[in-house]
Amino acid sequence: MSNKIFKLHRAARSAEKRGFTLVEMLVVIGVIGILAALLLPTLSSAKAQARSTVCKNHLHQIGLAMASFVADRQRYPTVKDWEPGSSFFDTWADKLKPYYPLDWTNTSWHCPEYIARRGVVQFQRAVYGIERSKFVIATSYSYNAHGINYDLGLNNAWGPSGIPEQQVHAPSEMYTVADARAYQNKILPGPSGGDEMDPWGMPPGFIRLELDPPHAQAYNIVFGDGHVSLVKRKDYLYPPRTAHNWNRDNQPHPEVWKPKSEWEVQN
């Protein structure tokens, strides 16, 4: 009897030492792989959402700086100021510097999703009075100069600069600053964004390749009253839905729209 007990005990100890078989190990690895595949999209989505939240915080600060600028001067900033024959050149973002501690060429000023995609932030001051002088800019945030300072937003004609505050009829519905529509530049290695918002075509000097919006087919936008909203591309760039948001008088002005064939969104 004792011999049988000994054999059973030895068999049990042998089973304890045996460990996993190859099949069992492959099953465990397969289960881990399935769980990882299920979790990775969630983690990626969570990271993208976190970057979008940081972007909104940046735009909120920019909106506060814009509001302070307007309150002090009773006018909106021009998109660019320069003195012919000199190296002086200021952008709308330069004008907000007294109200926002970060220099806009600092990557911490920009959308983290744009930076994560290796977006380029480059500023080269123009020098006027010499042959072939140029101004190069690539940024992740753009200013609605066409709606605020030009001719009613949806065409590209030059108009008055630095318009008075009272000419923006509905600040809570007026686009002021947004994620730039990023393009692949011919020269720069990463995505590039222009300093002016544009609902129509593509900035000159760029390959005709618009990159995906930074936040799940949408752009973060700060409005004239300082609030920030996520606006889907299909609405943002479709005039019948949002043309009034581009214009300082809060009217759509279909008389200045480009032909429908030139709209970035068709329906």
What local confidence, expressed as pLDDT, does residue 160 receive? 46
Cα separation, 187 vs 106, in Å, equals 21
Q: Of 111, 80, 106, nearest to 193 (Cα)?
A: 111
Report the SS3 class of residue 9.
helix
Contacts of 45 (CB under 8 A, 6+ apart): none
Token pair recorded at residue 75: 């006018």
Strands (E) in the chain, as ranges, are: 80-82, 89-91, 122-124, 136-138, 141-143, 175-179, 182-185, 191-193, 206-210, 218-223, 228-232
What local confidence, expressed as pLDDT, does residue 12 receive? 52
What local confidence, expressed as pLDDT, does residue 82 receive? 62
The answer to whether 90 and 161 are in contact (CB under 8 A) is: no
What local confidence, expressed as pLDDT, does residue 200 receive? 73
Q: pLDDT tens-digit profile of 32-60?
A: 777 767 666 655 677 888 899 999 999 99
Q: Of 28, 63, 64, nearest to 143 (Cα)?
A: 63
What local confidence, expressed as pLDDT, does residue 133 receive? 47
What local confidence, expressed as pLDDT, does residue 9 receive? 54
Per domain, the residue ranges of the chain are: 20-262
Q: Of 63, 74, 47, 134, nearest to 99 (Cα)?
A: 63
Cα separation, 187 vs 202, in Å, equals 16
What local confidence, expressed as pLDDT, does residue 202 receive? 64
Contacts of 139 (CB under 8 A, 6+ apart): 93, 104, 110, 121, 180, 193, 194, 195
Spans in the chain with pLDDT lower than 50: 131-133, 152-160
Q: Of 229, 92, 88, 110, nearest to 149 (Cα)?
A: 92
The answer to whether 138 and 121 are in contact (CB under 8 A) is: yes
What local confidence, expressed as pLDDT, does residue 18 receive? 57
